[in-house]
Amino acid sequence: MRKILIAVMLILSQAAFADYSMRRCVLLPVSDGVGGAIGLKLFADVEKYLLENTWCEYQSNSDMLGVFSRYRENLENHLRTPQVVKVVADRLKVGSIVRINLRKEIGTLEVQVDVVAENGEDIYFTEKTVLTKDDLELAFQTIRNWLEIFGRTIPYDGKVMGVVGDQVTLDVGRMYTVKVGQPITLKRLRQTKKHPLLKKIVEWDAMTLATGKIFNISENQALGVVKSYKTESKIQVGDWVRIEKMEEDSTLNVLQDYNSRKDSFGKLGIASLALSLGSSSFSSTNSSSRRMDGLMVGFDANIEAWVTRNWFGVIGLDRSLGNLSKASGSFDSSKSSYQRGTFELGGGYKYLPLGFFYGPQVDFKLSYLNNLYKADYNQTDGIGSFNVTGFAMVYRQTSLWEEPIEDI
Protein backbone atom coordinates (compact mmCIF):
# COMPACT_ATOMS: atom_id res chain seq x y z
CA MET A 1 0.00 0.00 0.00
CA ARG A 2 2.81 2.42 0.86
CA LYS A 3 4.53 1.73 -2.46
CA ILE A 4 1.28 2.57 -4.27
CA LEU A 5 1.06 5.90 -2.43
CA ILE A 6 4.63 6.80 -3.36
CA ALA A 7 4.02 5.82 -6.99
CA VAL A 8 0.88 7.99 -7.23
CA MET A 9 2.65 10.98 -5.71
CA LEU A 10 5.63 10.56 -8.02
CA ILE A 11 3.25 10.92 -10.96
CA LEU A 12 2.21 14.31 -9.53
CA SER A 13 5.79 15.27 -8.81
CA GLN A 14 8.00 17.51 -10.92
CA ALA A 15 11.77 17.42 -11.41
CA ALA A 16 13.57 17.60 -8.09
CA PHE A 17 15.91 20.36 -7.03
CA ALA A 18 18.21 19.77 -4.08
CA ASP A 19 18.77 22.00 -1.08
CA TYR A 20 15.48 23.85 -0.82
CA SER A 21 15.17 26.79 1.53
CA MET A 22 13.93 26.15 5.07
CA ARG A 23 12.06 29.41 4.60
CA ARG A 24 9.70 27.57 2.22
CA CYS A 25 7.35 25.35 4.23
CA VAL A 26 4.35 23.06 3.82
CA LEU A 27 1.92 21.37 6.20
CA LEU A 28 1.23 17.64 5.82
CA PRO A 29 -2.27 16.30 6.62
CA VAL A 30 -2.78 15.98 10.38
CA SER A 31 -2.88 12.34 11.44
CA ASP A 32 -5.19 11.63 14.40
CA GLY A 33 -5.84 7.88 14.30
CA VAL A 34 -9.58 8.41 13.79
CA GLY A 35 -9.71 9.07 10.04
CA GLY A 36 -9.36 12.84 10.28
CA ALA A 37 -12.32 13.41 12.59
CA ILE A 38 -10.39 15.90 14.74
CA GLY A 39 -7.35 16.52 12.52
CA LEU A 40 -9.17 18.36 9.72
CA LYS A 41 -10.16 21.31 11.91
CA LEU A 42 -6.66 21.61 13.36
CA PHE A 43 -5.14 21.38 9.86
CA ALA A 44 -7.27 24.34 8.70
CA ASP A 45 -6.23 26.47 11.69
CA VAL A 46 -2.52 25.69 11.37
CA GLU A 47 -2.55 26.21 7.59
CA LYS A 48 -4.19 29.63 8.06
CA TYR A 49 -1.47 30.56 10.55
CA LEU A 50 1.29 29.43 8.17
CA LEU A 51 -0.25 31.48 5.36
CA GLU A 52 -0.04 34.60 7.54
CA ASN A 53 3.28 33.95 9.28
CA THR A 54 6.52 35.83 8.61
CA TRP A 55 9.14 33.11 9.16
CA CYS A 56 8.34 31.01 6.08
CA GLU A 57 6.68 31.21 2.69
CA TYR A 58 3.88 28.68 2.82
CA GLN A 59 3.30 26.38 -0.17
CA SER A 60 -0.13 24.79 -0.48
CA ASN A 61 -0.27 21.04 -1.11
CA SER A 62 -3.94 20.99 -2.07
CA ASP A 63 -3.29 18.84 -5.17
CA MET A 64 -1.83 16.10 -2.94
CA LEU A 65 -4.49 16.16 -0.22
CA GLY A 66 -6.77 14.05 -2.39
CA VAL A 67 -4.09 11.38 -2.60
CA PHE A 68 -3.49 11.39 1.17
CA SER A 69 -7.25 11.18 1.85
CA ARG A 70 -7.27 7.64 0.42
CA TYR A 71 -4.89 6.47 3.16
CA ARG A 72 -6.51 7.92 6.30
CA GLU A 73 -6.62 4.61 8.14
CA ASN A 74 -2.82 4.33 8.17
CA LEU A 75 -1.91 7.95 7.51
CA GLU A 76 0.58 8.32 10.37
CA ASN A 77 2.80 5.49 9.09
CA HIS A 78 2.70 6.81 5.54
CA LEU A 79 3.72 10.31 6.63
CA ARG A 80 6.67 8.87 8.53
CA THR A 81 7.99 7.23 5.37
CA PRO A 82 11.00 9.29 4.14
CA GLN A 83 10.19 8.64 0.47
CA VAL A 84 6.69 10.10 0.86
CA VAL A 85 7.98 13.24 2.56
CA LYS A 86 10.72 13.65 -0.04
CA VAL A 87 8.19 13.49 -2.88
CA VAL A 88 6.21 16.31 -1.21
CA ALA A 89 9.40 18.36 -0.81
CA ASP A 90 10.42 17.86 -4.44
CA ARG A 91 6.93 18.59 -5.72
CA LEU A 92 6.64 21.92 -3.84
CA LYS A 93 10.37 22.73 -3.56
CA VAL A 94 10.12 23.20 0.21
CA GLY A 95 12.79 22.74 2.85
CA SER A 96 10.58 22.60 5.98
CA ILE A 97 7.81 19.99 6.09
CA VAL A 98 5.54 20.35 9.12
CA ARG A 99 4.12 17.04 10.38
CA ILE A 100 1.52 16.91 13.16
CA ASN A 101 0.24 13.81 14.92
CA LEU A 102 -2.60 13.69 17.45
CA ARG A 103 -3.45 10.83 19.79
CA LYS A 104 -6.68 11.17 21.72
CA GLU A 105 -7.26 9.35 24.99
CA ILE A 106 -10.00 9.75 27.58
CA GLY A 107 -9.68 13.33 28.86
CA THR A 108 -6.26 13.92 27.26
CA LEU A 109 -4.81 14.81 23.88
CA GLU A 110 -1.23 14.00 22.87
CA VAL A 111 0.23 16.47 20.40
CA GLN A 112 3.46 15.93 18.49
CA VAL A 113 5.02 18.28 15.91
CA ASP A 114 8.01 17.46 13.72
CA VAL A 115 9.59 19.75 11.16
CA VAL A 116 11.25 17.42 8.66
CA ALA A 117 14.02 18.20 6.17
CA GLU A 118 13.54 17.77 2.43
CA ASN A 119 15.21 14.35 2.44
CA GLY A 120 12.37 13.03 4.61
CA GLU A 121 14.75 11.72 7.27
CA ASP A 122 16.49 14.55 9.10
CA ILE A 123 14.51 16.36 11.78
CA TYR A 124 14.97 20.10 12.22
CA PHE A 125 12.59 20.43 15.16
CA THR A 126 10.46 18.12 17.30
CA GLU A 127 8.19 18.66 20.31
CA LYS A 128 5.59 16.53 22.06
CA THR A 129 3.23 17.15 24.95
CA VAL A 130 0.11 15.67 26.52
CA LEU A 131 -2.69 18.16 27.14
CA THR A 132 -4.78 17.41 30.20
CA LYS A 133 -7.98 18.21 28.33
CA ASP A 134 -9.35 17.54 24.88
CA ASP A 135 -9.14 21.13 23.59
CA LEU A 136 -8.27 21.73 19.92
CA GLU A 137 -7.89 25.48 20.48
CA LEU A 138 -5.26 24.83 23.17
CA ALA A 139 -3.57 22.34 20.83
CA PHE A 140 -3.48 24.95 18.07
CA GLN A 141 -1.96 27.60 20.34
CA THR A 142 0.66 25.09 21.51
CA ILE A 143 1.59 24.16 17.93
CA ARG A 144 1.69 27.82 16.90
CA ASN A 145 4.10 28.63 19.74
CA TRP A 146 6.36 25.73 18.77
CA LEU A 147 6.46 26.80 15.12
CA GLU A 148 7.32 30.37 16.14
CA ILE A 149 10.25 28.98 18.11
CA PHE A 150 11.37 26.90 15.14
CA GLY A 151 11.20 29.94 12.86
CA ARG A 152 13.68 31.72 15.12
CA THR A 153 16.09 28.79 14.99
CA ILE A 154 16.43 28.70 11.18
CA PRO A 155 20.12 29.58 10.67
CA TYR A 156 19.56 31.95 7.73
CA ASP A 157 17.06 34.50 6.45
CA GLY A 158 17.35 33.56 2.80
CA LYS A 159 19.55 32.06 0.12
CA VAL A 160 21.50 33.31 -2.86
CA MET A 161 19.57 32.83 -6.11
CA GLY A 162 22.04 34.39 -8.55
CA VAL A 163 25.48 36.00 -8.71
CA VAL A 164 26.83 38.57 -11.17
CA GLY A 165 30.15 40.03 -10.10
CA ASP A 166 29.71 41.59 -6.66
CA GLN A 167 25.93 41.66 -7.00
CA VAL A 168 23.80 38.86 -5.55
CA THR A 169 20.09 38.11 -5.93
CA LEU A 170 18.46 36.90 -2.70
CA ASP A 171 15.17 35.05 -2.19
CA VAL A 172 13.87 37.57 0.35
CA GLY A 173 11.29 40.24 -0.34
CA ARG A 174 7.98 41.59 0.88
CA MET A 175 7.42 38.95 3.57
CA TYR A 176 10.56 40.14 5.37
CA THR A 177 10.94 43.51 7.09
CA VAL A 178 13.93 44.32 4.91
CA LYS A 179 15.17 47.84 4.25
CA VAL A 180 17.29 49.16 1.44
CA GLY A 181 20.80 49.60 2.83
CA GLN A 182 20.41 46.89 5.49
CA PRO A 183 23.63 44.93 6.19
CA ILE A 184 23.84 41.28 5.11
CA THR A 185 26.23 38.45 5.90
CA LEU A 186 26.82 35.67 3.38
CA LYS A 187 27.68 32.22 4.73
CA ARG A 188 28.20 28.68 3.51
CA LEU A 189 27.23 25.50 5.35
CA ARG A 190 30.14 23.17 6.01
CA GLN A 191 28.50 20.44 8.08
CA THR A 192 25.71 19.66 10.51
CA LYS A 193 25.70 17.71 13.74
CA LYS A 194 22.81 15.38 14.52
CA HIS A 195 21.50 13.84 17.69
CA PRO A 196 22.74 10.21 17.59
CA LEU A 197 19.30 8.76 18.33
CA LEU A 198 16.69 11.24 17.13
CA LYS A 199 18.35 12.21 13.85
CA LYS A 200 17.57 15.77 14.91
CA ILE A 201 20.01 18.43 13.69
CA VAL A 202 21.38 20.16 16.77
CA GLU A 203 24.19 22.28 15.34
CA TRP A 204 25.01 24.11 12.10
CA ASP A 205 28.61 24.79 11.15
CA ALA A 206 28.77 27.62 8.60
CA MET A 207 31.67 29.84 7.57
CA THR A 208 31.33 33.54 6.79
CA LEU A 209 32.12 34.36 3.15
CA ALA A 210 31.41 38.07 2.84
CA THR A 211 29.42 41.04 4.06
CA GLY A 212 27.43 43.58 2.10
CA LYS A 213 24.27 45.66 1.87
CA ILE A 214 20.73 45.32 0.53
CA PHE A 215 20.65 47.38 -2.64
CA ASN A 216 17.10 47.00 -3.96
CA ILE A 217 13.94 45.04 -3.16
CA SER A 218 11.18 43.59 -5.32
CA GLU A 219 8.08 41.50 -4.64
CA ASN A 220 9.87 38.38 -3.39
CA GLN A 221 13.54 39.05 -4.05
CA ALA A 222 16.25 41.41 -2.91
CA LEU A 223 19.40 42.62 -4.63
CA GLY A 224 22.57 42.86 -2.56
CA VAL A 225 26.06 44.15 -3.19
CA VAL A 226 29.14 42.56 -1.59
CA LYS A 227 31.37 45.07 0.17
CA SER A 228 33.94 42.90 1.90
CA TYR A 229 35.11 39.33 1.28
CA LYS A 230 36.23 37.30 4.31
CA THR A 231 37.64 34.34 2.38
CA GLU A 232 38.90 33.61 -1.11
CA SER A 233 35.80 31.52 -1.83
CA LYS A 234 33.42 32.93 -4.42
CA ILE A 235 29.74 33.42 -3.64
CA GLN A 236 27.62 30.60 -5.08
CA VAL A 237 23.94 29.93 -5.64
CA GLY A 238 22.56 28.32 -2.49
CA ASP A 239 24.80 30.16 -0.01
CA TRP A 240 23.12 31.45 3.15
CA VAL A 241 22.15 35.04 3.79
CA ARG A 242 21.73 36.61 7.23
CA ILE A 243 20.06 40.03 7.35
CA GLU A 244 21.65 42.08 10.10
CA LYS A 245 20.18 44.93 12.13
CA MET A 246 20.78 48.47 10.95
CA GLU A 247 22.68 50.83 13.21
CA GLU A 248 20.36 53.13 15.13
CA ASP A 249 22.30 56.27 14.24
CA SER A 250 22.78 55.33 10.59
CA THR A 251 21.67 57.90 8.05
CA LEU A 252 20.19 54.99 6.13
CA ASN A 253 17.29 54.95 8.60
CA VAL A 254 15.81 57.91 6.77
CA LEU A 255 15.21 55.62 3.80
CA GLN A 256 11.77 54.09 3.50
CA ASP A 257 11.53 50.36 3.99
CA TYR A 258 10.03 48.29 1.24
CA ASN A 259 6.61 47.89 2.81
CA SER A 260 6.01 51.62 2.51
CA ARG A 261 7.27 51.83 -1.06
CA LYS A 262 4.62 51.23 -3.68
CA ASP A 263 6.14 50.75 -7.11
CA SER A 264 3.30 51.78 -9.40
CA PHE A 265 4.29 50.71 -12.89
CA GLY A 266 2.74 52.95 -15.48
CA LYS A 267 3.73 55.98 -13.41
CA LEU A 268 7.43 55.19 -13.56
CA GLY A 269 9.76 56.12 -16.35
CA ILE A 270 12.14 58.74 -17.66
CA ALA A 271 11.25 62.22 -18.92
CA SER A 272 13.89 64.57 -20.30
CA LEU A 273 14.00 68.00 -21.87
CA ALA A 274 17.17 69.52 -23.29
CA LEU A 275 17.98 72.77 -25.13
CA SER A 276 20.60 72.79 -27.86
CA LEU A 277 22.80 75.33 -29.61
CA GLY A 278 25.11 74.41 -32.49
CA SER A 279 26.05 74.92 -36.07
CA SER A 280 24.61 73.26 -39.15
CA SER A 281 25.17 73.31 -42.89
CA PHE A 282 23.71 71.92 -46.09
CA SER A 283 24.79 71.77 -49.71
CA SER A 284 22.85 72.54 -52.86
CA THR A 285 21.48 69.59 -54.77
CA ASN A 286 22.88 71.21 -57.92
CA SER A 287 26.47 71.38 -56.74
CA SER A 288 28.27 70.21 -53.59
CA SER A 289 30.52 73.29 -53.77
CA ARG A 290 27.53 75.52 -53.06
CA ARG A 291 26.99 75.41 -49.30
CA MET A 292 25.17 77.35 -46.57
CA ASP A 293 25.85 77.23 -42.84
CA GLY A 294 24.91 78.99 -39.58
CA LEU A 295 23.77 78.62 -35.96
CA MET A 296 20.82 76.44 -34.90
CA VAL A 297 18.86 76.52 -31.61
CA GLY A 298 16.41 73.85 -30.56
CA PHE A 299 15.05 71.43 -28.00
CA ASP A 300 14.97 67.67 -27.45
CA ALA A 301 12.08 66.14 -25.42
CA ASN A 302 11.78 62.41 -24.63
CA ILE A 303 9.51 60.27 -22.46
CA GLU A 304 9.96 56.57 -21.67
CA ALA A 305 7.18 55.14 -19.48
CA TRP A 306 7.07 51.62 -17.99
CA VAL A 307 3.49 50.53 -18.56
CA THR A 308 4.16 47.29 -16.68
CA ARG A 309 7.28 45.83 -15.12
CA ASN A 310 8.64 44.81 -18.53
CA TRP A 311 6.64 46.67 -21.19
CA PHE A 312 7.39 50.31 -21.94
CA GLY A 313 6.35 53.04 -24.34
CA VAL A 314 8.44 55.86 -25.83
CA ILE A 315 7.69 59.19 -27.44
CA GLY A 316 10.28 61.71 -28.53
CA LEU A 317 10.41 65.01 -30.38
CA ASP A 318 13.35 67.22 -31.25
CA ARG A 319 13.45 70.37 -33.37
CA SER A 320 16.21 72.81 -34.32
CA LEU A 321 15.71 76.15 -36.11
CA GLY A 322 18.11 78.68 -37.62
CA ASN A 323 18.93 81.07 -40.45
CA LEU A 324 21.77 79.88 -42.69
CA SER A 325 23.89 82.11 -44.91
CA LYS A 326 26.04 81.44 -47.97
CA ALA A 327 29.36 79.86 -47.06
CA SER A 328 30.67 79.01 -50.54
CA GLY A 329 29.52 79.20 -54.15
CA SER A 330 26.89 81.51 -55.65
CA PHE A 331 23.17 81.44 -54.74
CA ASP A 332 20.14 83.24 -56.12
CA SER A 333 19.16 83.79 -52.45
CA SER A 334 22.12 84.12 -50.07
CA LYS A 335 20.04 83.30 -46.95
CA SER A 336 17.58 80.54 -46.01
CA SER A 337 15.63 79.61 -42.88
CA TYR A 338 16.28 75.98 -42.00
CA GLN A 339 14.82 73.46 -39.58
CA ARG A 340 15.39 69.82 -38.84
CA GLY A 341 13.89 67.37 -36.38
CA THR A 342 12.76 63.88 -35.51
CA PHE A 343 9.51 62.46 -34.15
CA GLU A 344 9.45 58.98 -32.56
CA LEU A 345 6.52 56.93 -31.26
CA GLY A 346 6.95 53.33 -30.21
CA GLY A 347 7.25 50.75 -27.49
CA GLY A 348 9.09 47.63 -26.50
CA TYR A 349 9.92 44.91 -24.01
CA LYS A 350 12.52 45.27 -21.27
CA TYR A 351 14.15 41.98 -20.20
CA LEU A 352 15.65 42.13 -16.68
CA PRO A 353 17.93 39.11 -16.07
CA LEU A 354 18.06 39.70 -12.30
CA GLY A 355 14.53 41.02 -11.96
CA PHE A 356 15.69 44.54 -11.07
CA PHE A 357 16.02 47.80 -12.94
CA TYR A 358 19.36 48.31 -11.18
CA GLY A 359 21.12 45.60 -13.13
CA PRO A 360 21.61 44.28 -16.66
CA GLN A 361 18.86 45.23 -19.10
CA VAL A 362 18.05 44.08 -22.61
CA ASP A 363 15.56 46.21 -24.57
CA PHE A 364 13.71 45.30 -27.75
CA LYS A 365 12.02 48.38 -29.23
CA LEU A 366 9.90 49.02 -32.34
CA SER A 367 9.31 52.68 -33.27
CA TYR A 368 7.74 54.78 -35.96
CA LEU A 369 10.22 57.53 -37.01
CA ASN A 370 9.74 60.71 -39.03
CA ASN A 371 12.89 62.69 -39.85
CA LEU A 372 12.35 66.20 -41.27
CA TYR A 373 14.85 68.42 -43.11
CA LYS A 374 13.34 71.66 -44.38
CA ALA A 375 14.77 74.84 -45.94
CA ASP A 376 13.19 77.70 -47.88
CA TYR A 377 12.29 76.26 -51.25
CA ASN A 378 14.31 77.64 -54.18
CA GLN A 379 14.45 75.55 -57.34
CA THR A 380 17.22 77.66 -58.89
CA ASP A 381 19.51 77.21 -55.87
CA GLY A 382 18.59 73.52 -55.52
CA ILE A 383 17.32 73.65 -51.94
CA GLY A 384 14.03 72.61 -50.36
CA SER A 385 12.70 70.01 -47.89
CA PHE A 386 12.25 66.26 -47.55
CA ASN A 387 11.15 63.63 -45.00
CA VAL A 388 12.52 60.20 -44.13
CA THR A 389 9.73 58.09 -42.62
CA GLY A 390 9.58 54.47 -41.56
CA PHE A 391 9.80 51.89 -38.77
CA ALA A 392 12.95 51.04 -36.83
CA MET A 393 13.67 48.02 -34.65
CA VAL A 394 16.30 48.55 -31.95
CA TYR A 395 18.12 46.05 -29.74
CA ARG A 396 19.83 47.62 -26.73
CA GLN A 397 21.85 45.95 -23.98
CA THR A 398 22.97 47.90 -20.91
CA SER A 399 24.42 47.25 -17.47
CA LEU A 400 23.08 49.76 -14.98
CA TRP A 401 25.20 49.00 -11.95
CA GLU A 402 24.52 51.81 -9.48
CA GLU A 403 26.71 52.65 -6.53
CA PRO A 404 25.61 51.08 -3.25
CA ILE A 405 23.03 53.10 -1.35
CA GLU A 406 25.41 53.62 1.56
CA ASP A 407 27.59 55.86 -0.61
CA ILE A 408 24.84 58.50 -0.83
Q: Are 278 and 244 spatial neighbours (Cβ–Cβ below 8 Å)?
A: no
State the average pLDDT for the chain. Answer: 81
Q: Single out the residue of 22, 403, 24, 55 nearest to residue 216, CA to CA.
A: 403
For residue 307, pLDDT beyond 90: no
CB contact set of 338 (below 8 Å; sequence gap of 6+): 280, 282, 292, 294, 296, 321, 322, 323, 324, 374, 375, 376
How many angstroms separate the Cα of 320 from the Cα of each of 209, 297, 404? 56, 5, 39
User: Using 50, 70 and 90 to split pLDDT, how confident is the model at 143?
Assistant: very high
CATH 3.30.750.210 fits 2-153, yes or no: no
Which whole number is the average pLDDT over 213-234? 87
Tens-place pLDDT, residues 78-130: 888 899 899 899 999 999 999 999 998 888 999 999 999 999 989 999 999 99
Dihedral sign, Cα of residue 16, residue 223, residue 185, residue 256: negative
Instruction: Give the whole-number percent of the chain exceeding pLDDT 70.
Output: 83
Q: Are 45 and 135 spatial neighbours (Cβ–Cβ below 8 Å)?
A: no
Residue 160 has what pLDDT?
92
Would you kindly state where each structural domain of the chain is located, as residue ranges? Answer: 2-153, 158-260, 268-407
Tens-place pLDDT, residues 228-263: 999 988 999 999 999 888 765 444 443 444 444 444
Single pTM value for the model: 0.59
Residue 49 has what pLDDT?
95
d(CA 65, CA 69): 6
Which whole number is the average pLDDT over 321-332? 84
Which whole number is the average pLDDT over 151-178? 84
Residue 403 has what pLDDT?
42
Residue 7 has what pLDDT?
43
Tens-place pLDDT, residues 20-51: 889 999 999 998 877 778 888 999 999 999 99
Continuous segment of H or E residues that includes residue 41: helix 39-52
List the CATH code of the domain at 158-260: 2.40.10.410
User: Using 50, 70 and 90 to split pLDDT, how confident is the model at 176?
Assistant: low
